[in-house]
Chains A and B, each alone.
Chain A
Amino acid sequence: MATEDARYRDSSQYRLWSFSPTQLSALRDKTNAAARARISERLLSHPLPASTTAAATSKQDLSAPTSHANTPDPDGNSTPALPEFLTPAEELTLVGYYTSEILRASEALHYADEIKATAAMFLKRFYITNSIMTYPPAEMFFVALFFACKVDTGHVNLAEYTKIFNKSAEEILAGEFLLCQGLRFAFDVKHPYRALRGAMMELASLEDMKRDLKRLDEAEAKARRVLQFSPLMTDAYFHYTPSQIMLAALSLADRGLAERLIQETFHFVPMEGNEGDGGGGDGKGNEEKARVIGSQIRDKVLGAIEGCRDMLSRELPERKEHWLNKQVIKTQITPLRKKLLKCKDPERWNLVELQKVRREQAAKKMDSDDEDDFGGRDGKKAKKEEDGDIFGGDLGHSAKKRKVSVKKEEDPFGGAMVKKEDLFGVKVKKEEDSSFGGFGGAL
């Protein structure tokens, strides 16, 4: 296995944030459904003033509704009181819109490509497990940008930040922890920008390419423009690795160069024929090489890059205009935003308020986590369990006991007893080791 692939699989991007298209859409559907359920529940209980058991909406509350007028229809999941919810597709459109807003804002701030892209991915990742109906995207996108900056530079001056965006520090910080949690506390996003540089270095080192550096320059610039936009506006980061995304962008910029690089990389030809499987010859080393840089894997890589290329083509940099187009916004985005405002989560939408409630709850709980100490009352019992060796503990134990008793020369009785007990075993053992089975088990 190629070490560079194995190492990529260790990254949090692969472990936590890579999905097959089916998985990803299933997740988004589930998130959407969950939000509908929760918001319905909350909306229904909301009109009741925050008193008595208002907040508690258990199963019974729903099936046997309170005195409230807007009783839910026991068979269906919508009632006259409930608004129309956003569909998963509509949510996705809005997330796309706010991602484009992030890119626009960070461009205005002259942020580095990596920070822009990190912020965009933070927002997209966050809204995989959180619905846009639950947490306000217009707020979260500031939070994502702020936090991306913090992650990539190690520092950000909140005061400056609030001035630029005309937001209060409270508003930005209220969502920070929420974002971290939504990111599953994995803050590293791997981008294709440096990879593009690496690819260009490799290409530039090829003899025939050295004469055509202008072509390389142009391709790089074009590919970079693609990378600054297309993968962030699509789901490419979830379905492809940075190197594949990079090659797809390069192929959009100059297909010949991308193919050349792949050809140079996966060049291993084990035999005269094209079949890579014919074992023999060098044997294992050959096989391994064929697996890492042979023609079979090459074709597979080409397939992946082609797939990624298709995906990127749907949001080429030219589409930037689309997201800024007033007409588009008016017809496609604004209606969704209006719809969103009607079906927003009454309990979560206001981040600052939410934060306050959380703090109060925490204060009430008196830092209950510190009380999880489970006092030492059962200490002795616990100790026994701790000592016990679950693994064939018996064998291990008898061996240990024996050892100890023999070792304690201050206790002649113990010693003598062992002696008597094992007198026979020992004599036998000398002839046939296997009869000493007890210890065989402990080995």
Chain B
Amino acid sequence: MAVSPLVYPPQTTSLNSPLKRQPPSSSQQTSSNGTPNFPTGAAPLSAAKAILHQPQEKTSPPPSLTLDPIEQMNELEKRKYVKGRKLGEGTYANVYLGHSRSDPSSLVAIKKIKVQAQYNDGLAPDAVRELKHLQELRGHPNIIQLFSVFSSKDQNLNLVLEYLPLGDLEMLIKDVDHVRYGAGDIKAWMGMLTRAVWFCHENYVLHRDIKPNNLLIAADGEVKLADFGLARGFSDPGWRMTATVITRWYRPPELLFGARHYSGAVDIWSVGMVFAELIIRTAYLPGNTEVEQIGLICKRIGTPTEDNWPGVTQLSQYTVPSEITPVWGKEAFMSRFGAVGSEGVDLLVRTLALDPKRRITAREMLEHKWWKAEPKPTRKEDLPRKSGGEEKMGADLKRRNGVLEEDRGSKVARKLDFGAMR
């Protein structure tokens, strides 16, 4: 473990002259009142004027565009932040470290989505979905905050997101050699995850891609649910949704069987999978294909049948191994997951109910007695940490949102939801 990258991240950016790249005219705009960055009152007026003339002074070549009001607002928004070094680069998005211009110590992550890349139907739907939902799910401590959005000259979207330097849960789970944690820590993490999911569901949003590497960790240890690229609002009765969502290992049986009318229960299954993974420190049901995934569910949890899940055999893609495994009881889980105590295993088993109607809801999860049982959840400041999170955040955010490796083929395009159009 070399020098931790978190300690001094911002020095790479120069703070004393954030305006050095600006033409001389813009400097008066700061000197006049010292607040170039806020679009209210008198300040923005002068700022806007200065900006207005910038491109003209800068670029004399022929097709130069002057800025319209909305573009100036964008410019003002953009100027609130200073983009720093690159944390990650991908084909879909680049992630930069950034900070507020007015306060260099307030760090942000700037996710620059390459609009023109790949998707030739314009702005990628993942980006649209992410923006749509992050704009509304504001203010919850366990959901990644979107501070601002602006576009850069080349028409790329820039999402200014909360800076989460301590990596993600996957990193902690995997580093068996260096990271040790106990039942109190698991309880704390699960609490934060469950609250995030509860908040989404209370706002009628399905996340549809819960997994450890979408659970990022803030500097104070708070876990934040990120990546809303597959999220959507709850559907109304009669409207179909796509079944090809949620990364395979965390995908519930109803989706594997092709259900098109589902509920928040799909996220709860994923939460249960994360719970199990936190305890055993390896993915609980790591199927390599959908068939294998179903096989694993049948073997380790039980075979879905008409008895334990009425109607399941009617689902369009229902296929199970011929050998029927009865649903395992709580006792069977105790041996492997006993670390979280009997109450904890009880909660786990409830999240893994095969029939989604019988699965526990996020609210019910939070009302479960496990939270009151010993040991108490660890304070977030005391949770185990690991360095190198910054790169990890870069890597997590630059991923195409909500990509399901095996699903993003021609097959998916056909499968995506047209039902709502009628």
Contact = CB atoms under 8 A, between A and B. Distances in A.
A386 B11 contact: yes
Contacts of A153: 417-418, 420-421
A176 B70 contact: no
Interface centre among B53, B56, B203, B421 (most CB of A within 10 A): B421
Contacts of B74: 181
Interface of A: 7, 10-12, 30-31, 34-35, 38, 41-42, 50-51, 53-58, 109-112, 115, 129-130, 134, 147, 149-158, 169, 172-173, 176-177, 180-182, 184-188, 194, 347-348, 354, 357-365, 367-370, 372-383, 385-386
B121 A158 contact: yes
Interface residues of B, number: 71
B60 interface: yes
B69 interface: yes
Given A154-B125, A184-B149, A376-B14, 10 more contacts: A38-B68, A55-B56, A130-B68, A150-B125, A187-B131, A187-B135, A359-B154, A370-B83, A373-B13, A385-B15
Contacts, number: 207
Given A58-B53, A374-B82, A382-B15, A188 B132 contact: yes
A150 B21 CA distance: 38
Nearest to B140: A10
Contacts of A156: 121, 421
Contacts of B56: 55-58
A184 to B, nearest CB: 8
A360 B85 CA distance: 25
Interface centre among A58, A149, A382 (most CB of B within 10 A): A382
B155 A369 contact: no
Contacts of B310: none
A13 to B, nearest CB: 9
B65 A151 contact: no
A155 B421 CA distance: 10
Nearest to B239: A112
Contacts of B125: 150, 154-155
- CB-based closest 4 A-B pairs: A362-B154, A185-B149, A379-B11, A50-B62
Interface in B63-112: 63-66, 68-71, 73-74, 82-86, 94, 104-105, 112
Interface centre among B70, B138, B416, B420 (most CB of A within 10 A): B70
A354 B71 CA distance: 14
A371 B63 CA distance: 22
Contact of B422 (A41, A112, A360): A112
A35 B53 CA distance: 17
B227 to A, nearest CB: 15
25 contacts: A7-B203, A12-B136, A31-B69, A54-B62, A110-B422, A129-B70, A151-B132, A177-B115, A180-B157, A182-B70, A187-B131, A347-B65, A362-B154, A365-B154, A368-B153, A370-B83, A373-B85, A374-B14, A376-B12, A378-B14, A378-B17, A381-B16, A382-B104, A386-B8, A386-B10
A115 B151 contact: no
B139 A10 contact: yes
Contact of A373 (B63, B84, B131, B155): B84
Contact of B136 (A57, A188, A354, A383): A188
Contacts of B60: 53, 56
Nearest to B110: A369
Contact of B123 (A169, A180, A188, A362): A180
A383 B8 contact: yes
A380 B11 contact: yes
A155 B417 contact: yes
Interface of B: 8, 10-18, 20-21, 53, 56, 59-66, 68-71, 73-74, 82-86, 94, 104-105, 112, 115, 120-123, 125, 128-129, 131-133, 135-136, 138-139, 149, 151-158, 203, 232, 236, 413, 416-418, 420-422
Contacts of A176: 122-123
A42 B232 CA distance: 43
Contact of B135 (A109, A186, A360, A382): A186
Nearest to A384: B11
B59 A364 contact: yes
Nearest to B417: A153
A10 B132 contact: no
A132 to B, nearest CB: 13
A177 B15 contact: no
B64 A372 contact: no
B123 A177 contact: yes
A154 B16 contact: no
B68 A348 contact: yes
A205 B122 CA distance: 46
B13 A382 contact: yes
B417 A154 contact: yes
A384 to B, nearest CB: 9
Contacts of A184: 73, 149
A64 B375 CA distance: 79
B136 A50 contact: no
B12 A194 contact: no
B69 A129 contact: yes
A262 B8 CA distance: 58
Contacts of B416: 154-155
A80 to B, nearest CB: 23
Given A34-B68, A53-B60, A181-B71, A187 B82 contact: no
B8 A361 contact: no
Given A362-B153, A369-B152, A130 B131 contact: no
Nearest to B103: A390
Contacts of A155: 125, 413, 416-418
Nearest to A55: B64
Nearest to A31: B69
Interface centre among B16, B62, B71 (most CB of A within 10 A): B62
B69 A373 contact: no
A150 B71 CA distance: 23
A374 B84 contact: yes
Given A361-B59, A362-B154, A369-B83, A374 B18 contact: yes
Given A110-B422, A154-B416, A158-B121, A385 B69 contact: no
Given A112-B421, A382-B16, A385-B104, A365 B68 contact: no
Contacts of B413: 155
Contacts of A358: 65, 153-155
Given A158-B121, A176-B122, A361-B153, A115 B421 contact: yes
Contacts of B12: 373-376, 379
B138 A369 contact: no
A129 B421 contact: no
Contact of A185 (B133, B135, B421): B135
Given A112-B422, A154-B416, A173 B83 contact: no
Contacts of B69: 30-31, 34, 129-130
A194 B60 CA distance: 53
A347 to B, nearest CB: 7
Contacts of A41: 66
Contact of A378 (B16, B85, B105, B139): B16
Contacts of A158: 120-122
Contacts of A109: 421
A111 B421 contact: yes
B240 to A, nearest CB: 11
Contact of A367 (B16, B85, B151, B154): B154
Given A50-B62, A150-B125, A369-B153, A10 B73 contact: no
Contacts of B71: 181
A383 B16 CA distance: 11
B113 to A, nearest CB: 11
A10 B203 CA distance: 11
